[in-house]
Amino acid sequence: MDMFFHAAMLALDPWAIGAVGLGTLVGLIFGSIPGLTFTVALALALPITFSMDSVPAIGLLLGTYIGGMTGGSVSAILLGIPGTPSAAATVLDGYPMTKKGEASIALGTAVIASVFGGMFSLIVMIVSVNLVSKLAIGFGPAEIFALVVFGLSTICGLCGGSMLKGLISGVLGLMIMTVGLDQMEGVPRMTFGSVNLLQGVNLLVAMIGLFAVPFIIEACSGHMETKHKRMVRVRAELPSIRLLLGRFWLMLRCSVLGTGIGAIPGTGGAIASFLAYDHARRTSKTKESFGKGELDGVIAPEAANNAVTGGTLIPLLSLGIPGDPATAIVLAGLMIHGITPGPALFMNHATEVYGMYVAVAVAYVWVLGLQLLGIRLFVHVLKIPRDLLAIGVLVLCVIGAWSVRNSVFDIYAMAAIGGLAYLFIALEVPITPIILGMVLGPTIENEFRTAMMLSGGSWDIIFTSPLAMIFLGLAALIIVLQAISELRVRRSNQQKVNA
Amino acid sequence: MIFKATMKGALAALATVSMLALPGGARADYPEKPIEMTILFGGTANTIAQLLAELMSQELPEPVVPVSRPGGGGAVGYSHVAAARPDGYQLVWNSNSINTVTHTGRVPFDYTAFAPIARISVETPALGVNSDRGWASLDDLKAAAMAGKPLKVGISGKGSFTHLVSAALFDAMGIADKVMYISYGDGKAPVELMAGRIDAAIQWPGQFSSYMQSGELKVLAVTGAERIEALPDVPTAAEQGVDVDITMWRGLAAPAGTPEGVIAALAKAAQAATQTDQFKAATGTLGFTAAYMGPEQFGALIKQDDEFYGALLGELGMGM
Amino acid sequence: MTDRHKDLIFGGLLLGLGLTWTGLVWSTIPPAFDAYSIGPRAFPLTLGFILVGLCMVLLVHRAAREHDNSGTDVPAETDTALSRRIMWLPLALITVEICAYGFLLDKIGFLLATPLVILAILALNLRCGKPKVLVGMALGVTVGCWLIFDKLMGIHLASGSWINLG
C-alpha cells in the first residue's frame, strides 16, 4: 500500500498531471482530425519522453493513446470519417445522428461511454492483471484465428439491405490486405515487381480513403456559387442523465466485451467495437432504427473500444506484447525508461506500474473535461460551408496518409481506394465490411497459417481446442441468425407487394 | 536602416534563389538544412534511431529528422535513399537487412549503392527455451532433437533475421533437418515459448530478460563471439563448441557518391552521439551494445557480411 | 438505371476482377515450400474463388428477377446518404487531383504543392472565380497546416526532391 501511495504521489505531481493532460490533448486533436491518427501522435510524442522522468513520460504516452482512442469518434460522428479504425463502427449510427441535428448528443454520449469503458477496463486491469494474463496465454494461433472469424461474422449484420453485396465487399477488403510482401514466407504477392507495392496497403491509409474521399467527392461536385449548402442546424446540447442511465447495462456489457478482447494479444479495438455494435443491434428492441441514428449504436462501439485501452495494457505489461502499432510505441517508451514489460515487471517496477494506473485514471478525467468543453467547439465545424470544409479535409487526409509511412504510394492508394469507395456507395454496396475485412484479414491469415504450421498441417489444432470451437460456433450462429432474419424481411416485403 | 534591412533581405532571397537554381553546386558549410534519416523498421530499431537522431542534432548545426519508411523488409526505405541526391541530406539507418534485401531479390541494387558512414550499435540474438523442458545447454537441446520429434522453432518469418540466425545455429549444431520453423509475423515468441506451443526461439535479449528473471524461460546461448552485458551468465554458442558468430549491426549510410567531407562530418557527429550518457543508458534499457566503427572499417564489414548472407540464403533456397 | 441494372454491372465487373485476381495469384505466387505449411498462395487464391462465387450468385440472382417489379427488392441502405447518381466528373477530378497532389508533394514539397492543388479544386470542381476565396483558401490552408503541423507538432511534411523550401 505504501508503494501505491508513493506511486500516486509521483503520478499526481503537477508536472505529471500536466504531461498526461498534454498527451491527452494532443491525442484528442490527432484522433479527431480526419486523416491524422493517434499512431502518428504517439510516434511524435516518443522522442519528447526520452529526457523525461519515467512516470510523467509514460503518462504522456498513455494520455496520447487514450486521448487518440476517444478522439477518433469526433470526426466519425461529425463527418462520417473515423479517426481510427476502432471508430469505424461509430460512423454507422453517429453520422446519421449528426444529419438529424443531434451531433452534440452523439458526441457527448460517445465521450461518456468512452470514459465509462476506459475506467471499467482500468479497474479490471488493476484487480486481475495476473489472472487475465494467464488466460491470455491460453490464446494460441488457433484460438485467435477462431476469435477473429467470430469478429468477421459481424459483417453479416453490417450489410444493410443485401448480405450478398456486403459479403463481396468484405472479401474485397480481405483481398486488398494480401497485397505486398508476405511476412511469413518472405514472398511478394501481387506486387508486379514494384518495390512500392511490397509495403502493401496500409490500413490507416485505406481507412482514410474509404471514408474521407467519398465525402470530398460529394462535397466538391457542384458549382460553389449555386449551392452553398450547410449540413444541418447546430446545437450544443449534451445528453441527459436519464438517457445515459437507461443504457447503463449496455455500456457495461460492451465494456466487458472490450476489456476481454483487448486482453487477447493480437486483436484490438476495431474487432471489439464491431462485435459490440453487432451485440447492441442484436439485443435491441428497435433493431430497424440501427444505421439511422440510434444512440445505442454509438454507445456500444465507444464503450468497447475504450475498454480495449485497459484490456490491451494487460498483455502489454505482463507479456510485453503490443496489440497494435500504437501500443508498440507505448512499449518503446516503457523500454527506454528501463521498464521492461514481462512477468517480472511487477517485481521490479511496482511503483511505475501503480503510477501508470493512476496516469490512466488521470487521462480519463482529462478526456472527460477536454471533450465536454471541446464538443461546444467541434460542432461549429458543421457551420463551415461543406465544399470549403472538404478542401480542408482533403489536405488533412493527404498529410495524414503521408505521415503514416512518408510514401507517395500511400497517397495514390488512398485516391484509388477512395474512388472505388465512392462508386460502391453510389451502387449501394456497403463499404463498412471492406474496413472490417482489412482490419481482420492479416490476423486471420497469419494466425491460421501459424496454427497449421504448429500442427504440421492438421486441422485438429482447431477442432480439438474448446475455445476455438466456441468462437467458431458463435460465428456460425450469427450467420444463421442473419440468414433467417433476412429471409423473414424478404418474405414480409413480398407480402406487402402482393397485398 | 530600413534600406539596409531591405538590401539584406533581397540578398538573402537572391542567395536562396541561386541555391535552388544550382543543385549540387559548391556548398561551403555542411549541413545548412535539416538532414533526413530514413528508418526502415519499427520496434527497437526505431527507438535507437530516434534517440540517435536527437543526439546527433545536438552535435550538428541543423537537426537530423527521423523519417519512417517501413515495408518490404527494408526494400522501400533503401530504394528511397539509394535514389536520392548524394548530398548528405538523405541518410538511411541501415542494418544487415541491406544484405538480405539484395540477396532475396527485393531491390535491384546491393550495398555498393550506399556510402557507409558509421556503425552505431550491435545486437546479439539469444536462443530461449521453456524452463520446464529442463534443457541447460545446447547439447541438451541437440540430444532432445535427435531423440524425439522435430523441434518447433519460432521465427518472425522466412528469410527474416531470426530465421537466418536460427538456420546458421542449427546447421552448425548438425540438427538442421530436425527443425520445423514456425512463422509468427512478429515478436510473440516469448509468450508462445511460455505457453509451450514452440520449443525454442531466437529473439533479442531484451525480450527474454523479464521471463528469465521470473524463471519461466531459460536462455541457452547467445550467437555472438562474446558474451553480452545484458546476459552475463549466458554462454556463447562458440563456448559450447558450436561454431557460429552472428550479430546484427545497425549504422548509418548515405547514397553512394556522397562527398567524403560530408561523410566525415556525419561520422564525427555519430561518434559523439554514441559517447553521450543518454546513449549509454539506452544500451542497457533497450538491450543493445554501442559499437561505433568508422566509415572504412564499416564498409569492409558490410562487404564481408554480404558474402556470408548471400551464401546462407542460397543454402536455404531463398537466394537469387 | 434501376437497382437491378446497377447490381448486374457491379457483379459483372467484380466477377472480372475476381477471375483476373485468381489467375494472377495462381501464376505469380509460389505454393507452399514445405509439406507442413499452407503457404503464401492458399489464402489469396481462396479469396479469389470466394469472390468469383459470390459474384456469380449475385448475377444469377438478379438476372433471374428479370420480370420482377424492382419494388420487390429490399430497399438497400447505404452507409452515407450520398446522392445515388454517380457523378463521374467530380469522381475523376478528385481522384486525379489527389494523385497529382501526391506526385507534387514528392517533387516540390508540401508548401508549393498544397496551394496548387487547392486552386485546382476550387477552379475545376467548384468553378470558383472569386479571387478572395481562391487566394484565401490556398494560402490560409497551406500556411495554417504548415504552422500547426510542421512548426508546432513537428510532423515531417513532405519536402520536395526537385525544389525544397524546407
The residue among A457 and B224 whose pLDDT is bigger is B224
The answer to whether C35 faces chain B, any CB pair under 8 Å, is no
Share of chain C residues as helix, strand and coil, in percent rounded to the nearest 5: 65, 0, 35
pLDDT for res C37? 78
Residue B250 near residue B45 (C-beta atoms within 8 A): yes
**Chain A CB contacts of C61 below 8 Å:** 164
Please name the residues in contact with C95: beta carbons below 8 A apart, sequence gap of 6 or more.
Answer: A213, A415, A416, A418, A419
pLDDT for res A101? 85
Instruction: Categorize the per-residue pLDDT at A233 as very low, low, confident or very high, splitting at 50, 70 and 90.
Output: low
The whole-angstrom separation of Cα B312 and Cα B304 is 13
pLDDT for res A310? 85
Weakest-pLDDT range from A193-197, A418-422, B36-40, B97-101: A193-197
C163 CA: distance to closest CA in chain B (Å) = 7
What does R_g of chain B's alpha carbons equal in angstroms? 23
> Is the pLDDT reported for residue A118 higher than 90?
yes
Question: In degrees, to the nearest 5, what angle opens at C-alpha C76 toward C-alphas C73 and C79?
Answer: 170
The answer to whether A456 faces chain C, any CB pair under 8 Å, is yes
In this structure, the dihedral spanned by the alpha carbons of residues B107, B108, B112 and B118, taken in order and rounded to 10 degrees, is -10
Q: Provide mean pLDDT across the span A292-318.
A: 91
Mean pLDDT computed over every residue of chain B = 87
Residue A497 near residue A489 (C-beta atoms within 8 A): no
Find residue A182's DSSP bridge partners. Answer: A187
Grid coordinates of C155: 510532423
Instruction: Categorize the per-residue pLDDT at B320 as very low, low, confident or very high, splitting at 50, 70 and 90.
Output: low
> Is the pLDDT reported for residue B6 higher than 90?
no
In this structure, the dihedral spanned by the alpha carbons of residues A445, A450, A455 and A459, taken in order and rounded to 10 degrees, is -10
**Chain B CB contacts of A195 below 8 Å:** 72, 75-76, 79, 106-107
Sequential DSSP letters for chain B: -HHHHHHHHHHHHHHHHHHHHSTT---SSS-SSPEEEEE---HHHHHHHHHHHHHHHHHSSS-EEEEE---GGGHHHHHHHHTS-SSSSEEEEEETHHHHHHHTTSSS--GGGEEEEEEEEEE--EEEEEGGG---SHHHHHHHHHHSSPEEEEESSTTSHHHHHHHHHHHHHT-GGGEEEEE-SSS-HHHHHHTTSSSEEEE-HHHHHHHHHTTSEEEEEE-SSS-BTTBTTSPBTGGGT------EEEEEEEETT--HHHHHHHHHHHHHHHTSHHHHHHHHHHT-EEEEE-HHHHHHHHHHHHHHHHHHHHHTT---
CB contact under 8 A, B47 and A46: yes
Q: Provide mean pLDDT across the span B234-243.
A: 94
The answer to whether A43 faces chain C, any CB pair under 8 Å, is no
Total tally of structural domains belonging to chain A = 1
Q: Provide mean pLDDT across the span A340-352.
A: 85
Grid coordinates of A152: 468477421
Scanning B137-176 for CB atoms below 8 A from C yields 158
> Is the pLDDT reported for residue A231 higher than 70?
no
pLDDT for res B21? 41
> Is the pLDDT reported for residue A365 higher than 50?
yes
Residue count (chain A)? 499
> Beta-carbon neighbour count of residue A192 at 10 Å?
9
The residue among C37 and A368 whose pLDDT is bigger is A368
Residue of A nearest to B54 (CA): A47
**Residue position matching grid coordinates 424492382:** C70
pLDDT for res A160? 67
Residue A432 near residue A88 (C-beta atoms within 8 A): yes
The answer to whether C163 faces chain B, any CB pair under 8 Å, is yes
Model confidence pLDDT, tens digit, residues C105-152: 989 999 999 999 999 999 888 888 888 889 999 999 999 999 988 888
Of A499, A492, A461, nearest to A146 by C-alpha is A461
C121 CA: distance to closest CA in chain B (Å) = 28
Instruction: Categorize the per-residue pLDDT at A184 as very low, low, confident or very high, splitting at 50, 70 and 90.
Output: confident
Model confidence pLDDT, tens digit, residues A390-446: 999 999 999 999 988 889 999 999 999 999 999 998 888 889 999 999 988 888 999
> Is the pLDDT reported for residue C74 higher than 90?
no
Residue type for A230, please? Answer: R
Instruction: Categorize the per-residue pLDDT at A225 as very low, low, confident or very high, splitting at 50, 70 and 90.
Output: very low
The whole-angstrom separation of Cα A374 and Cα A368 is 10
pLDDT for res A302? 95
Model confidence pLDDT, tens digit, residues A244-293: 888 999 999 999 999 999 888 777 788 899 999 999 998 888 888 888 88
Q: Provide mean pLDDT across the span B103-110.
A: 91
Instruction: Categorize the per-residue pLDDT at B18 as very low, low, confident or very high, splitting at 50, 70 and 90.
Output: very low
A5 CA: distance to closest CA in chain C (Å) = 34
Model confidence pLDDT, tens digit, residues A31-72: 888 888 888 889 888 988 988 888 899 999 999 999 998 998
The subunits that touch chain B, with at least 3 C-beta pairs less than 8 Å apart, are A, C
Side-by-side strand order, sheet with B179-183: B179-183, B151-155, B200-203, B126-130, B217-222
pLDDT for res A325? 80
Q: Which domain holds residue A89?
A: 2-498
- Which helix (H) or strand (E) element contains residue A182? strand A180-182
- Which helix (H) or strand (E) element contains residue A187? strand A187-189
C14 CA: distance to closest CA in chain A (Å) = 9
pLDDT for res C82? 43
**Chain B CB contacts of C161 below 8 Å:** 84-85
Q: Which residues of A308-317 are buried (b: 16+ CB within 10 A; e: fewer)?
A: bbbbbbbbbb
pLDDT for res B14? 44
Q: Provide mean pLDDT across the span A206-222.
A: 90
The whole-angstrom separation of Cα A110 and Cα A85 is 16
Grid coordinates of B316: 536455404
**Chain A CB contacts of C9 below 8 Å:** 427
Model confidence pLDDT, tens digit, residues B142-193: 999 999 888 999 998 888 899 999 999 999 999 999 999 998 876 678 888 9
Pairing mode, strands B200-203 and B151-155: parallel
Find residue B91's DSSP bridge partners. Answer: B37
pLDDT for res A112? 93
Please name the residues in contact with B45: beta carbons below 8 A apart, sequence gap of 6 or more.
Answer: B39, B93, B95, B250
Residue A62 near residue A20 (C-beta atoms within 8 A): yes
Domains of chain B, earliest start first: 31-122+248-315 (3.40.190.150), 126-240 (3.40.190.10)
DSSP, res C146:
I
Of C137, C93, C97, nearest to C117 by C-alpha is C97
Find residue A61's DSSP bridge partners. Answer: none
Grid coordinates of C11: 457483379
Instruction: Categorize the per-residue pLDDT at C70 as very low, low, confident or very high, splitting at 50, 70 and 90.
Output: very low
